[in-house]
Structure 1
Amino acid sequence: MKRAQQGVALITVLLIVALVTVVSAAMISRQQLTIRAVGVPITQRQALHYALGGERLAQALLQRDALAGNPAQPLDHLQEAWAKPLPAYPVDGGEIQVRIEDVSGRFNLNSLLRDKQVDQNAVQRLQRLLLRLDIRAPYAQRLADWLDADQEVSGEQGAEDGAYLLQQPPYRAGNRLLADASEMRLLLGMSDEDWRKLAPWVSALPAQAPLNINTASALLLSTLADPLTPDSAKVLVAARGAQGYPDVAGFLSQSALAGMGVAAQGLSVGSHFFTVTTLVRLGDAQRVVQSTLQRDAQGKVHVLGRDFSQRWPQVSKPVKKEQ
């Protein structure tokens, strides 16, 4: 009897030890999950502040560049300090990378509307850009209708409320300037494939913001006239040299543009709008923040908005040559 009681007592002790072990393991596991759950937001918040630091660095570089010249009439080109690749900056547990891009070197979609009227010169430039990208849909006319305030369809291929109300779900034309270039995806018939081709080459800036001929690619410069091709426009890029074109007149006097009737309207040699993409890596975590900056006539740089949905790097897809 005594031995049986001892056996029962031993089994009871073993059961208690096993129960305590299971409870302790569960507590430790839950504690680890809690620590990780608390740690991730802290790391993300730290990464956000590092990213904002990268944004401030870009603001300082752009402001210094403006004050070195005439802020009211800037001269910006790709050989300036802000445009060159910046080294990665080491921080505790990771690094920060910053890239500055002149969005005035892209086609400004809002330029299709000037003084509340459709600018046919800008429409033609967008049409050429679409053709250079092998996009055949009439998005230029449809964008003009999207931007203007009336309900009159531009030609046979435009689109106003009547066309959009037939969509599922139905919606109306914007009848205002684009706040973001991605609103182009709302245009009638816009496919994901066409948008992916177009996105790297366009921006949505104030309607009067011109194209900077000193930072625009050969593809964008080729949209200034029908006879120009991306290959022939490379001559215009090479002629910029290390200091860029000093003025639009010098650009228009290039022999490659002789007899093409390229208008000075919508062109400039300086920029007021930039995007800053900042990548922060901390351990296994990373965060990308893309900021839109405006540099005013006094050289001060203001943050217009931030986008937390971008990825790094953003590489433009190769463009098919014009046949």
Structure 2
Amino acid sequence: MIGKRNERGMALLTVLLLVSVMAVIAATALDRLTLATRLAGNAVTLGQARAWLGTAELLTTTRLDDMLAANLSQTTLDASWLGQPRTIALPDGAVVTATLTDGGNCFNLNSLVSEKQPGVYGTRATGVAQFIALMEALGIGQGVAVNVAGAAADWIDSDDVAGPSGAEDAAYAGREGGGLAASRPMADKSELRGVAGVTPKLYATLEPWICALPVTDLSPINVNTLLPAQAPLLTMLAPDQISPGLARAQLSSRPAGGYGSVYRFWNSPMLARLDIPRGVAAQVQVKTDWFDLDARVGSGGLDVSEQALVDARKQPVMIARRQWTSVR
């Protein structure tokens, strides 16, 4: 009898163990099903949000084409487009907000180099000098500015020889996880954070003033759209001649309809006596070639944004690059 009782007890324990295992498996399967359902729902929501952002992108670029066609010789602030959020009501009740800014009124990090031959880049002294001047105008010490500008140029250029105050592969090899200089133009301004000497605090100071255009041209500053608060971007072109105060005063006195031509800008009363190098004088523009588009939409509890760079060198304009971010 005792043996049979033990056998029944063991059988009961076995059954209970099997039930427990099955319960764990069922719970795990349910969790995975729930997760899969959420992921599928998020994917659908994200896809819908991106579709709405695509609609906003199309409408914005169409309006931009119309604006540029209305004045082929210059881009001005007449249409009140700069930094003004435009809302688009959607069929599902959501709202897309789209904002355009001048994507060329910034220091182009890729202007630190010039393309010597296809795919081969060498340091450009003018670009380095302008980056140093911008940093100094923003209150960054000369020593730090010189080192960061040199290191950023070395980050992009094709050779492996560190320039004066620069940094090549050896400066990154000792970092945790190792690393090398990119030896190519920057795809995004955030790459500057990886450059030797760039601290989080320094990057936060520079971030509103820099960009990484998909060309190595010197920064294409449009004096028709540059705001007085952006005076350091004008000062950096000729810091020995254009003080921040002079730059602000010049931009504040801009004609309502724009300058009309680069010649008129440099020959305006406050600037006519300056001796600006020809190459730098030609760098200034009255027409915008690049626009930044920031579009945002909330859909299904998910906030999705798109940042796009619009190439307006030819019409119709084209999207040069875009990226999305989402937050629930």
1:149 aligns with 2:158: yes
In structure 1, the residue corresponding to 2:86 is in which secondary structure? coil
- 1:60 is aligned to 62
Distance 1:174 1:37, change over 3 A: closer
- 1:69 is aligned to 71
- Listed as ranges, the matches of 1:35-46 within 5 Å are 39-46=41-48
- 2:236 is aligned to 223
Equivalent residues of 1:83, 1:100 under 8 A apart: yes
- 2:88 is aligned to 89
In structure 2, the residue corresponding to 1:278 is in which secondary structure? strand
- Listed as ranges, the matches of 1:157-196 within 5 Å are 157-196=165-204
In structure 2, the residue corresponding to 1:257 is in which secondary structure? coil
- 1:22 is aligned to none
Matched AA of 1:268: Q
Distance between the aligned counterparts of 2:319 and 2:272, measured in 1? 40
Deviation, 1:284, is 3.5
1:47 aligns with 2:61: no
CA shift digits 1:75-117 (9 cap, x unpaired): 1123335436143222223211100111111111111223434
TM-score normalized with structure 1 length:
0.77
Distance between the aligned counterparts of 1:291 and 1:66, measured in 2? 18
1:253 aligns with 2:278: no
Matched AA of 2:264: G
- 1:316 is aligned to none
In structure 2, the residue corresponding to 1:235 is in which secondary structure? helix
Distance 1:125 1:256, change over 3 A: farther
Equivalent residues of 2:303, 2:326 under 8 A apart: no
Deviation, 1:144, is 1.9
The one of 120, 136, 140 equivalent to 1:135 is 140
In structure 2, the residue corresponding to 1:256 is in which secondary structure? coil
Distance between the aligned counterparts of 1:257 and 1:196, measured in 2? 32
Matched AA of 2:299: L
Which region of structure 1 is more displaced relative to structure 2, 75-84 or 99-108?
A: 75-84
Distance between the aligned counterparts of 1:293 and 1:256, measured in 2? 33
The one of 265, 269, 280 equivalent to 2:286 is 269
Equivalent residues of 1:61, 1:82 under 8 A apart: no
- Listed as ranges, the matches of 1:103-118 within 5 Å are 103-116=103-116, 117-118=122-123
Distance between the aligned counterparts of 1:144 and 1:265, measured in 2? 22
Matched AA of 1:225: A
Distance between the aligned counterparts of 1:40 and 1:183, measured in 2? 29
TM-score normalized with structure 2 length:
0.76
Matched AA of 1:148: D
- 1:307 is aligned to 323
Distance 1:114 1:246, change over 3 A: farther
Listed as ranges, the gaps of 5+ residues in structure 2 are 1-26, 117-121
Distance between the aligned counterparts of 2:325 and 2:196, measured in 1? 25
Matched AA of 2:82: A
Larger RCO, structure (CA 8 Å, separation 6 or more):
1
Distance 1:93 1:130, change over 3 A: same
Q: How many residues align?
A: 279
Instruction: Give percent identity, aligned residues only.
Output: 28
1:120 aligns with 2:97: no
- 2:257 is aligned to 243
Distance between the aligned counterparts of 1:84 and 1:151, measured in 2? 41
Distance between the aligned counterparts of 2:152 and 2:321, measured in 1? 23
Distance 1:32 1:309, change over 3 A: closer
Matched AA of 1:160: E
1:286 aligns with 2:294: no
The one of 213, 229, 232 equivalent to 2:223 is 213
Distance between the aligned counterparts of 1:93 and 1:189, measured in 2? 48
Distance 1:250 1:284, change over 3 A: same
CA shift digits 1:147-195 (9 cap, x unpaired): 222233222x111222222332322222222121111112112111111
Matched AA of 1:77: T
CA shift digits 1:11-69 (9 cap, x unpaired): xxxxxxxxxxxxxxx9xx99999876654433332221111111111210221122223
Deviation, 1:274, is 1.4
Deviation, 1:197, is 1.1
Distance 1:257 1:115, change over 3 A: farther
Equivalent residues of 1:218, 1:236 under 8 A apart: no
Deviation, 1:268, is 1.4
- 1:14 is aligned to none
Distance between the aligned counterparts of 1:238 and 1:160, measured in 2? 42
Equivalent residues of 2:75, 2:287 under 8 A apart: yes
In structure 2, the residue corresponding to 1:237 is in which secondary structure? helix
Distance between the aligned counterparts of 1:270 and 1:310, measured in 2? 33
Matched AA of 1:261: D
Equivalent residues of 1:62, 1:82 under 8 A apart: no
